[in-house]
């Protein structure tokens, strides 16, 4: 098995506000796009040919893959689901068995290596990467009933008592058998529970169920490390934590080039990997392992939390604080007593006081005194609304999500879990209690301004 197909043609509408400028596979996770990270895993595991299926914002994916040997991006116009996309691409594959990966999957190289080895040794017609069901809602995912590694049934978004494992979007299949099952796909997921309502999209999982019904041997392999499907905004934070936990927290030695400068008063606990020209200045504290990109300046008492990634050409200064397990994009400026934890994309500014926890999109300006609430008065987990549906995130539902190219006014306040659309402006002193649509200006209209004479006469002069 030397060929992989990465399915990255979807629009990712449930990821709003980050779907407007980004196909899901292009989104950044710990300093690399989702797609680049997966391509790196596959190439390190001797995949000789990687075909990337693209449609929505395909130029971003083509730009990411430009010049990478063995990788080709194929635009698939108006795809009608993952099975439809795969049916169009599979004739390009000459291998007896092919690896299929969804383009919004983030996992570890070790997990991919083990699955590829298992699927090569299994002798099965198809192999699926799965995880045992825990607390997640089965109605959010494709799931399977597995007995002694044999996949007995695959269901679309089922009730929990029908299934015991969740599919993770990583499959291997015999090319000829899969091609036949794709041809038989009815154009939507028919294998659902009574009362479920499948969309009119040709799902690859329905074709895998067709293979099972045809007597093909389909084997499940449990993932030993987490696999994050980036489907909704909070999954960006989950994916970052997964990568930081496996790649940064485990650093065993530092790498400091001659061009980097560390001031004698700086305090570094843990291992650091510094890019060329990095300056770690006076009274800086780095609380644990960190990776810092080239040309970045960290100075004047800034505090960097453990297991963090700081991008290139940033200025982080003046007693600001970056929380543990944070990812700062390239060309960020974070300054005077600003406190941040979470993810920033490139070119973000947050330079004067304030406290922010969440995800901040590209070229977004966080003004002085911006404050985010993360704890409800009733201490309950924060629910989210995604396309009108109530969601209960396992983690990070209380974070705030700023879209790309957004501006905030001084002293604006944000309640737990709100999402701010891209190209929006939040005015000074506004209290944001619900999601703000993209391309929206939100500001306070002072209904009445009282003006009175004042002076020494008011004090008895």
Tell me which residue has tokens 């679309």.
156
Confidence of residue 460 (pLDDT cuts 50, 70, 90): confident
Model pTM score: 0.94
Asked, for residue 435, whether it belongs to a domain, the answer is yes
Q: Which helix (H) or strand (E) holds 96?
A: none
Within 10 angstroms of residue 104's Cβ, the number of other Cβ atoms is: 25
Q: Which long-range contacts (CB under 8 A, 24 or more apart) does 448-457 make?
A: none
pLDDT in tens, 191-223: 999 988 999 999 999 999 999 999 999 999 999
Residues 365 and 408 in one domain: yes
Q: Which pLDDT belongs to residue 343?
A: 98
Helical residues (DSSP H) of 75-170, grouped into ranges? 82-89, 109-122
Provide the pLDDT confidence category of residue 109 given band limits of 50, 70 and 90: very high
For residue 10, what pLDDT is reported?
92
pLDDT higher for 345 or 351? Answer: 345
Q: In CATH, what number is assigned to the domain containing residue 410?
A: 2.160.10.10
How many CB atoms are closer than 10 A to CB 364? 23
The 10s digit of each residue's pLDDT in 11-69 is 999 999 999 999 999 999 999 999 999 999 999 998 999 999 999 999 999 999 999 99
Q: What's the CA gap between 132 and 43, in Å, rounded?
A: 28
In a 3-state reduction of DSSP, which class is residue 234? helix
Domain assignment present for residue 243? The answer is no
- Does residue 244 form part of some domain? no
In a domain? residue 80 = yes
Domain hosting 285: range is 253-442
pLDDT tens digit string along 417-442?
999 999 999 999 999 999 999 999 99
Is 240 in contact with 325 (CB distance < 8 Å)? yes
Same domain, 62 and 201: yes
Residue 382's nearest CA partner among 357, 400, 360, 361 is 400
Write down the pLDDT at residue 447: 78
Query: What is the reported pLDDT for 380?
Result: 86
Query: Which strand (E) or helix (H) includes residue 334?
Result: strand 333-334
287-294 average pLDDT score:
97
Half-sphere exposure of 374 (CA within 13 A, CB side): 13
The size of the chain, in residues, is: 461
Mean pLDDT computed over 375-387: 88
pLDDT at 135: 79
Residue 413, pLDDT above cutoff 90? yes
State pLDDT tens for residues 244-270.
Answer: 999 999 999 999 999 999 999 999 999
d(CA 97, CA 226): 25
pLDDT of residue 136: 82
pLDDT at residue 445 tops 90: no
Residues 65, 110, single domain; the answer is yes
Q: Kindly report the CATH number assigned to the domain that includes residue 184.
A: 3.90.550.10
Same domain, 277 and 351: yes
Q: Is the pLDDT of residue 450 over 90?
A: no
CB 342 within 8 A of CB 305: no
- Same domain for 167 and 30: yes
Parallel, antiparallel, or unpaired: how do β-strands 165-174 and 142-147 relate? Answer: antiparallel
What pLDDT shows up at residue 22?
A: 97
pLDDT of the residue at 2: 93
Residue range 130-181, pLDDT digits in tens: 999 987 888 889 999 999 999 999 999 999 999 999 999 999 999 999 999 9
State residue 297's pLDDT score: 98
Residue 376, pLDDT above cutoff 90: no
Whether residue 455 lies inside any domain: the answer is no
**Do residues 158 and 42 share a domain?**
yes
Two structure tokens written together for 241: 């934590």
Q: Is residue 220 part of a domain?
A: yes
pLDDT at 151 (0 to 100): 96
Arithmetic mean of pLDDT over the chain: 95
Tell me: pLDDT of 101 over 90.
yes
Task: Looking at the structure, tell me whether residues 326 and 227 fall in a common domain.
Answer: no
Q: How confident is the model at residue 443 (pLDDT cuts 50, 70, 90)?
A: very high
Q: Assign residue 206 a region: left if phi > 0, alpha if psi is -120 to 50, beta otherwise?
A: alpha
Check whether residue 62 and residue 183 sit in a common domain. Answer: yes
Give the position of tokens 């390239």.
330
Q: What is the pLDDT of residue 149?
A: 95
CA distances from 393 to 59, 136, 361, 385, 398 (A): 31, 9, 20, 10, 9
301 and 168 assigned to the same domain: no
Q: Is the Cβ–Cβ distance between 350 and 334 less than 8 Å?
A: yes
Q: What is the pLDDT of residue 308?
A: 97
Percent of the chain with pLDDT over 70: 100
Cis peptide, bond prior to residue 17, ω within 30 of zero:
yes
Say if residue 448's pLDDT is above 90.
no
**Alpha carbon distance 417, 188 (integer Å):** 33
- Structural domain total, the chain: 2
d(CA 357, CA 372): 7
The span from the CA of 269 to the CA of 58, in Å, is 42
Are 356 and 415 in a shared domain? Answer: yes
Q: Is 189 a domain residue?
A: yes
- How many C-beta atoms surround the C-beta of residue 195 within 10 A? 6
pLDDT of residue 124: 96
10-41 burial: b if 16+ Cβ within 10 Å, else e? bebebbbbbbbbbbbbbbbbbbbbbbbbbbeb
Number of Cβ within 10 Å of residue 459's Cβ equals: 7
Residue 248 lies in a domain: no
**Using an 8 Å Cβ cutoff, are 342 and 237 in contact?**
yes
261 and 393 together in one domain? yes
Please count the other Cβ atoms lying within 10 Å of the Cβ belonging to residue 48: 13
Q: Answer whether residue 226 shows pLDDT above 90.
A: no
283 & 397 share domain: yes
């Amino acid at each position: 098995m030397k060929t992989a197909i990465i399915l990255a043609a979807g629009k990712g509408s449930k990821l709003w506000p980050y779907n407007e400028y980004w196909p899901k596979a292009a989104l950044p996770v710990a300093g690399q796009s989702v797609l680049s990270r997966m391509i790196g895993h596959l190439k390190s595991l001797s995949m000789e040919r990687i075909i990337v299926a693209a449609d929505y914002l395909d130029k971003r994916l083509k730009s990411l893959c430009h010049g990478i040997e063995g990788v080709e991006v194929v635009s698939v116009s108006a795809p009608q689901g993952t099975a439809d996309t795969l049916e169009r691409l599979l004739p390009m594959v000459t291998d007896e068995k092919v690896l299929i990966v969804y383009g919004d999957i983030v996992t570890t190289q070790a997990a991919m290596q083990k699955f590829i080895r298992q699927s090569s040794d299994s002798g099965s017609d198809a192999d699926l990467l799965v995880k045992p069901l825990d607390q997640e809602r089965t109605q959010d995912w494709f799931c399977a009933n597995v007995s002694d590694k044999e996949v007995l049934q695959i269901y679309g978004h089922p009730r929990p008592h029908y299934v015991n494992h969740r599919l993770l979007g990583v499959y291997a299949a015999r090319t000829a058998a899969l091609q036949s099952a794709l041809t038989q796909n009815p154009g939507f997921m028919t294998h659902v529970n009574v009362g479920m309502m499948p969309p009119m999209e040709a799902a690859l999982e329905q074709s895998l169920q067709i293979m099972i019904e045809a007597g093909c041997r389909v084997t499940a392999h449990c993932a030993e490390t987490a696999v994050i499907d980036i489907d909704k905004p909070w999954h960006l934070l989950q994916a970052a934590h997964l990568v930081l936990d496996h790649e940064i927290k485990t650093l065993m030695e530092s790498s400091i080039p001659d061009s980097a400068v560390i001031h004698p008063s700086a305090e570094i606990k843990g291992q650091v990997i510094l890019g060329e020209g990095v300056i770690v200045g006076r009274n800086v504290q780095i609380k644990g392992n960190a990776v810092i990109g080239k040309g970045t300046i960290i100075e004047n008492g800034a505090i960097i939390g453990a297991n963090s990634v700081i991008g290139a050409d940033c200025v982080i200064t003046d007693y600001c604080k970056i929380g543990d397990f944070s990812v700062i994009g390239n060309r960020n400026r974070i300054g005077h007593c600003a406190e941040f934890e979470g993810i920033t994309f490139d070119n973000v500014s947050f330079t004067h006081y304030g406290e922010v926890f969440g995800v901040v999109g590209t070229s977004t300006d966080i003004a002085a005194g911006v404050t985010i609430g993360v704890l409800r008065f009733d201490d309950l987990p924060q629910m989210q609304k995604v396309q009108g549906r109530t969601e209960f995130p396992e983690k990070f539902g209380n974070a705030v999500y700023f879209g790309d190219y957004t501006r905030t006014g001084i002293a604006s306040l944000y309640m737990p879990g709100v999402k701010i659309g891209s190209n929006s402006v939040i005015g000074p002193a506004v209290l944001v209690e619900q999601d703000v649509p993209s391309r929206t200006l939100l500001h306070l209209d002072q209904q009445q301004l009282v003006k009175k004479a004042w002076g020494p006469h008011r004090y008895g002069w």
